Amino acid sequence: MEPFGGSLAVLLARPDDRWQTGAETVNDKDAYLCNFWRALAHDPEQTAHYANYPVNETDLLARHLWIVNTVRERIQQLESDPDFYDAKVAGWWAWGICSWIGNAWCDGKGPHTLGTIKGIKDTAINSVGVHRSRPHLANAGRGVNRKLPHLGNAGQGVKRGAVCHDLALYFGALATRLRRVRVCGGDWARVVTTGALSYATSVGIFLDPPYQGALRDKNLYRMDDHNISIDVRDWAIANGDNPRYRIVLAGYEKEHSAAMPSSWRIHAWTAGPSMATSTSTDSRNATNRHEERLWLSPHCLNPQPELTL
């Protein structure tokens, strides 16, 4: 169970023989993200068609404006129609994430409206504010045409042929991987109820909420609640002694250490430099990457590595 699914990096990193049995559930409050995973599962070829596009600043801004000002209301159908998805929005949204520098892609919180950007006529009466950003121009700034990760045996095909063909194969491999995954879109608390977690003798729960707003860049997340990590930590502590639950909580050392019970194990790690680190004036983005911690509940497994002769 991943209540804050995001890019599904943890889910996709599970060993191949683990996800073929049992059940997997992911959730995220970001409607664009949920739409992407749903479109990918239903129509990976069409999603890949729209995601395959060169980095172009004018189109990046135009699609950014279109998604923020036109799509936001339509995408809410995800909550009322279980079959709804928009492959065009999914592909353009994923392409934009790979091209945009820093954060704020499609967040609708920036200072600009259609009328404040030179050369664009303001035809929307209630245009939502957007950020204007140039494309990311470092080595990784190649849109979705960068090297694709390997997805097990089904992912071998991404090494063949042209980029569009490779991307379609890769999206197809992702769709196959997600075929049995339940994708929820909404508040995190909806998927950690007793009923939602009752489907197995043991349940792994990975909690990676937006980190506390006072400790990091306030615009780091599109769907943001600056204090949600406190509520998530309280839930984790309250349920940590349940022998069925294997809970992992992600956060900063200074964010949770004082409150975590001594029975929880802690794993320290350092995140790699990010675009936010290099582009933000907030110095905390550079120092916080050394503060990353994972807290593991008492019933998490603790395998010992085999010692060689």
Higher pLDDT, 16 or 134: 16
Q: Which of 89-103, 171-185, 205-219, 226-240 has the highest mean pLDDT?
A: 226-240
List of residues 6+ apart from 210 with CB closer than 8 A: 4, 220, 221, 223, 224, 225, 226, 228, 229
Residue ranges per structural domain of the chain: 30-179, 186-296
For the chain, the helix, strand and coil percentages under 3-state DSSP, each to the nearest 5? 40, 10, 50
% of the chain with per-residue pLDDT over 90: 29
- Per-residue pLDDT tens over the stretch 126-142: 445 445 454 444 544 44
Virtual torsion, Cα 31, 271, 210, 39, nearest 10 deg: 10
pLDDT at 175: 87
Q: Which residues contact 236 (CB under 8 A, 6 or more apart)?
A: 207, 247, 249, 295, 297
Largest CA distance in the chain: 73
Q: How confident is the model at residue 20 (pLDDT cuts 50, 70, 90)?
A: low
Instruction: Give yes or no for residue 78 having a pLDDT over 60.
Output: yes
pLDDT in tens, 291-306: 899 999 999 998 776 6
What is the average per-residue pLDDT within 164-172? 82
pLDDT at 24 over 70: yes
pLDDT (average), residues 25-34? 87
Q: Lowest-confidence range among 41-50, 98-107, 142-151?
A: 142-151
Q: Name every residue whose Cβ is closer than 8 Å to that of residue 284 and which is 6 or more positions away in sequence.
A: 215, 216, 217
Specify the higher pLDDT residue, 161 or 235. Answer: 235
Choice among 7-11, 71-75, 94-98, 150-154 with the minimum mean pLDDT: 150-154
Query: Residue 125: which residues within 8 A CB-CB, separation 6 or more?
Result: none
Q: Is 160 helix (H, G, I), strand (E, B) or coil?
A: coil
